Structures are given as C-alpha cells and as structure tokens.
Amino acid sequence: MKITTFNPAIVTGNARELVALFEALGFECRHTKTGINDAGITNYRMRYTGEDGRVFHVDIADAPVPQDITSIRMNVDNFEEAFEMLEKKGFRNAQGDRLTETGTSRSTMMVSPTGFPINLSQHIRDND
C-alpha cells in the first residue's frame, strides 16, 4: 500500500463558514464533490501554495454532525490493504459495514480505539 495524500480534514455542519475562513487565509477551493451518501455530504478540497512553492491541503466535509470532527485524510492506492491494516491496529469503520462508493472513489472514516479518526480513501481511475 502506498499513501498518495495525507492532510488534515474537518467534518462540520458549517462548511460554508469554514471554507470562507480558509479562503481568507489564502486557500483556494480546488474541487467540490456533492451528494455523497444518503446524507448528501459535500466535500471541499482546499489548497494553499506558499511563496516558497510549498503546497498545503485541507479537506472540509459538510455533514450533519453535532460538533466538528478534525481528522486526517489518507488517500491510498490500495483501499482494501489499508483498511485491513487499520483494522489489525484496532481501528473500526465508523459506518459499520458500509463504505462510501461514489464511482470515482471509495472511502470511510476509520476510528482508532482511543477515538482518533482517519478518513481512508482511494481514488478510482480509469486505468485501475
């Protein structure tokens, strides 16, 4: 398994306000994916490029949650392998037996025994 991206991710019920905050900090909304799952979740991919050329990302998910959840987004090239490795480390799928399948990605939030969440994702490409 290879990690292809690794960055902070925030799940919130106030995504518009949070997107505006990050835009004020100099981030640009690079990608938006809407209508995810039955809850109609929307994801925003934010990007900041510093004066030195360094690039930073933060993902914001607009979802019906009682309070914000800060996590790590980990995109991998082999979802099943990463999922199994995290399970062996005691992580559980926050969706029970469900996975989020959008046609272009497969994902779920994995939660450690102490409550630390990792948003595990794999992009599905035409050549996969």
Q: What's the pLDDT tens digit per position in 79-128?
A: 999 999 999 999 999 999 999 888 888 999 999 999 999 999 998 875 54
Give residue 78's pLDDT band: very low, low, confident or very high (50, 70, 90).
very high
Q: Output the average pLDDT for the chain.
A: 91
Give residue 36's pLDDT band: very low, low, confident or very high (50, 70, 90).
low
Q: Which residues contact residue 90 at a Cβ distance below 8 angstroms, ignoring those fewer than 6 apart?
A: 112, 113
Q: Which residues contact residue 105 at a Cβ distance below 8 angstroms, ignoring those fewer than 6 apart?
A: 121, 122, 123, 124
